[in-house]
Structure 1
């Protein structure tokens, strides 16, 4: 295989006969000697020569030749990026995205989901762009916190995001991901000056995970008053008393089954 790669490097550098180079690539594919790298090289060669449509056929050949999911992901990703770059028909690109998402396993498609969303966003379909990512978040068994943070960052000025924060809180998340989600939700509510909602979120955070009180204290110092600060301190004291009450602990633990994974929190809203 290394010899073939070297052969094509020499061929492209020293020979101006495009048809001869192209025929050699096709011969390599016919003999089943093609590697994923050679597929990418051939496609790029055709694109550099202005034969973009033909380069798409090479990606299609690669998808037929290779069954490994990771290799197919790389081919699809390259295929999609180049199709967008060369302004391929939008409906054809959408069909390619949909086909890719059907054929690839969930654990590999996050970058494709993001690319699909960006494609629709750039084409002015803002709601569709949001839904592409959000539908995946709500249906996947994978930890979606990176995608949630992506949506939060991109759509932070949209007040409708609140309803989705509330739905995301119903997902089964690790403690670390839940903390990130709550911090982002709190930041969103502060930006919208919904300070009572912020306090409710802080109470929820401290009741469900080991969330530092410093953030809440800093919030009250900046946005609250003496009354709200004292209310926070009373909540803090009550929480400590509850944690120190062995009877309360036993009663609470007896009504809730322990999750099989101790790092997973099942939120009951």
Structure 2
């Protein structure tokens, strides 16, 4: 259900939306604790995506322990490590075509399933969990050459302050740079009670000591000193192309590569992504 909420872009009035608003507000009024428990399950549980692509020959599977549970890893190639972080309700398998390209260039492509995603442990998914997961992956390797991230994985990667990412190039695919606006807007469009949603957010903030208002990938991207290339489809329905366009115009270290007809997911294995990776390693 959470995927239907976060990937809902309809602005139209609907009876279903009105009923969702009424029932969730009533539930929260009558039984607040039960409503919050239900909301956590509904809003923070990502879909366990099935593999999107065939496993490449030579793929090495492993595990890394994190604060959020066991994370499944997928490595391909030899050489300096590029870490790949997928987005909400995604999985590492979405990166298999790009991992093959990275490996062919003399690097190790190391992808992983975020907490609560793919084959990894954990139940819930949110920015603090994504950041903890990425930190564990980075701790598991000696050095990192760069990072590739998609959608919400881009937001959490920019949020991550791990030393091994300092000064390293980023390839961001369909990034959600306006994370808070995107998140709250998606929930509001679904008709879900914003009061109930805020209660769930507050609980996560307290548990992780991670104020949601501190999540600001757009402005934190301005502070990065290394090169960043954004590959974003002009018709992306889930992450605003205009925000990536603005970032490229305002930030000296950020370049935008626009695509057409690739959407939010297919763009991960388009030729522009492969070419952008080649540009980053050349420079």
TM-score, normalised to structure 2, is 0.26
Q: Which structure is higher in RCO with an 8 Å CA cutoff and minimum separation 6?
A: 2
Structure richer in helix, relative to its length: 1
Greater C-alpha radius of gyration? 1
